[in-house]
Amino acid sequence: MYRYKLTLEYDGTPFSGWQRQSDRMSVQQALEEAIAKFSGEVVTTQAAGRTDSGVHALGQVAHFDLSRDWDPFRVREALNYHLRPNPVGVLLCEAVDDSFEARFSALARHYEYRILNRRAPAVLERNHVWHVPMPLDADLMHIAAQSILGLHDFTTFRSSECQAKSPLRTLDHFAVRRELDHVVVTASARSFLHHQVRSMVGSLKLVGEGKWTPARFRAALDAADRSKCGGMAPSSGLYFMRVDYPAA
């Protein structure tokens, strides 16, 4: 068998998320159907991150195996042809050793959350940002974000349906910056819990509005209690940016 690594971007708006669903199109289904159309093989793809419904990607990574040794350039071109009209693009296809796994070989995952912070509604960025009309203090949000870096129990900021065996995660990077009318939140870790980034951003918004202090944000984390979460940001503003792997 021959293994291929894909780097993908997609607009998550029309999809049920990455993972196959019985009643709605997913990114995984669109990709696997495209693979079958050009190769004639039925495969199961594995992704670095199982993004939720409505979440976008600029650098999702997936792998799959084929029985034939295809040229990676031809694989990329064929997939982009057969993926149409789905809003999924294969940016890069690489032949890799069978020891590579998109999910388990990852050293770090990087996310970005985009908030449009202005009175006027999102027109050109509809379904691609969280529109928050009330002014946000990005500097105060950044101070709060720094208070939860490191290894913690993130029960407060994970879905009640999260299937991870442990709520312990190490948050390596969590920062907030303003770019004109946008407030951009970036987060990096080896792995994240289900809904962790959106939950953290939802609570940070309360800090930005002045409803919470940075100390209360940290106290919410320390409570290790989902009910202390300040709310969850919508999926539309979240982007899976890239994945880090060991050097070849």
d(CA 7, CA 57) in angstroms, rounded, equals 10
Catalytic residue of the set 52, 97, 98, 139: 52
Give the span between the Cα atoms of 196 and 148, in whole angstroms: 12
Give yes or no: 52 in active site: yes
Q: Which residues of 35-70 are buried (b: 16+ CB within 10 A; e: fewer)?
A: beebbeeebebbbbbbbbbbbbbebbbbbbebeeeb
Burial of 236 (0-12, 13-18, 19+ CB in 10 A): buried
The bridge status of strand 238-244 relative to strand 56-66 is parallel
Residues carrying an active site annotation: 52
